[in-house]
Amino acid sequence: MQEKYRKLTNCRICKGSNLEEYLDLGEMPLVNSFPLPGEIDHEEKFPLEVLLCHDCHLSQLSIVVDPSLLFRNYVYRSSMSNDFKSHCNDLAKELNSYACKKGDLIVDIASNDGALLHPFKRIGNRVLGIDPAINLAKIANEEGIETIPEFWNEGLAKKILQSHGPAKIITAFNIFAHVDDVHSFISGVKILLDKDGFFVFESPHIQDLITKVEFDTIYHEHLSYLSSSPVARLLSEHGLRIAKIEKHNIHGGSIRGYIEHNFQNRSNGSSEKVLKDEEISGIYNPSSYYSFSEQVKSVRKNLNSLLHNIKRDGQSISLFGASAKGNILLNYCGIDHQQIDYAFDHTPEKQGRLTPITHIPVIHPDLLLSKMPDYLLLTAWNFSREIMEKTKAYQENGGKYIIPLPQLRVL
């Protein structure tokens, strides 16, 4: 029987073996494995430990779970958030103002339900999605976004170059950190990218994870936790370079890199500034990681004491956003269906199922006012603004929000 995961022995970017564990969150479920009520006897958990490479500074998980287990049938839909969709709109408008034009090919790696490609198609670009999730590729194809249901690699890049020609833009939003063989991934980008093209990736930034203790963004889908220095090192091995880097608030704080062939020189000096900010934040200093575990434990202690007091006072709690990060927060803090009555979530694929291990029933947000919990724990805290806007009637009825991270707050 094929093993469900392998242990990491070498850094995936520099191949060094100078790896040191700095965080152990214990055995955790696969965060997007929402069981049906009849499936809870077969749930699995896997070690969730984070290592720091002392040679290239890449943070990475100690194991690699079989990606087919994680991504072949995927319940996370990018289009559930209007804020994320406008984030994608802004990118399409920006790139069409200077980097591509109508008719140019835009390829999105890990295109999910097509959220990032719809705005490019509306502008008149040719679009192509790549996503191994058969269920999501079906949705995207039905909505007119051509999507190949495969994992991205060099071989697929060569096939697409033959069939579609070079891509003026290749995007990879919230996927670069999910990839085990990053060398094959980037080599594929080099093959398909037009000589004047940009590869634009966006991933959570470890600077925010460490400085704001956003430990709930650590889960088995996220194999790496990125910063500019190890990424630049990887790119340079494949004839690519960073032209521009931006910080974005999405998903708790992300970095967006605009990457070009190394024979181009369209730098705007931003990568030097981001690197300087990273150095000042301490993420290239190993001692910054040694206290992180203690900070994570104090998040758990403070949240548990707040929820304990609320339940002691006889009040009810539900959550909004049956998110991947939420499943880490709940499982690490030992919070389950005994304290949390319902998980409200717009994602059709999650409704009628239970949160993994904690077994909180996921139901449609239309039921929020009828259930009327005293408190809503925003386990999708990265979308707090949008969720509070959508649940204004709940707040007007006296409902309160608990925002667990980056700072524990009750609103």
Closest separation between CB of residue 139 and ligand DWN, Å?
15
33 by Cβ neighbours in 10 Å (0-12 / 13-18 / 19+) ranks as buried
Closest separation between CB of residue 248 and ligand DWN, Å?
12
CB 368 within 8 A of CB 394: yes
Decide whether 129 or 197 has the Cβ nearer to ligand DWN: 129
Phi and psi at 129, nearest 5°, equal -100, 150
Decide whether 141 or 384 has the Cβ nearer to ligand DWN: 384
CB 289 within 8 A of CB 312: no
Decide whether 99 or 330 has the Cβ nearer to ligand DWN: 330
3-state secondary structure of 291: coil
CB 191 within 8 A of CB 152: no
Positive/negative CA dihedral, 264, 269, 272, 274: negative
Decide whether 52 or 378 has the Cβ nearer to ligand DWN: 378
Closest separation between CB of residue 177 and ligand DWN, Å?
7
- Show the 3-state SS of 128-175: EEECCCHHHHHHHHHCCCCEECCCCCHHHHHHHHHHHCCEEEEEEECC
Closest separation between CB of residue 273 and ligand DWN, Å?
25
Residue 237: how many CB atoms within 10 A of its CB? Answer: 12
3-state secondary structure of 310: helix
Decide whether 199 or 383 has the Cβ nearer to ligand DWN: 383
Decide whether 23 or 387 has the Cβ nearer to ligand DWN: 387
Decide whether 99 or 380 has the Cβ nearer to ligand DWN: 380
Decide whether 185 or 383 has the Cβ nearer to ligand DWN: 383
Closest separation between CB of residue 37 and ligand DWN, Å?
19
CA 87 – CA 73 distance, rounded (Å): 25
Decide whether 76 or 394 has the Cβ nearer to ligand DWN: 76
Q: Which two tokens stand for residue 332?
A: 């690490």
For 176, the enclosing helix (H) or strand (E) is none
330: Cβ–Cβ under 8 A, 6 or more apart, which residues?
Answer: 319, 336, 340, 355, 358, 360, 379
For 375, the enclosing helix (H) or strand (E) is strand 375-378
Q: Which region holds residue 265: left if phi is over 0, alpha if psi is between -120 and 50, else beta? A: beta
Q: Which two tokens stand for residue 287?
A: 């001692």
Closest CA to 115 of 92, 137, 88: 88
Beta bridge partners of 7: 63
Decide whether 280 or 372 has the Cβ nearer to ligand DWN: 372
Closest CA to 203 of 187, 224, 219: 224
Residues in touch with ligand DWN (CB under 6 A): 76, 80-81, 174, 221, 251, 321-325, 345-347, 380, 382-383, 386-387, 390
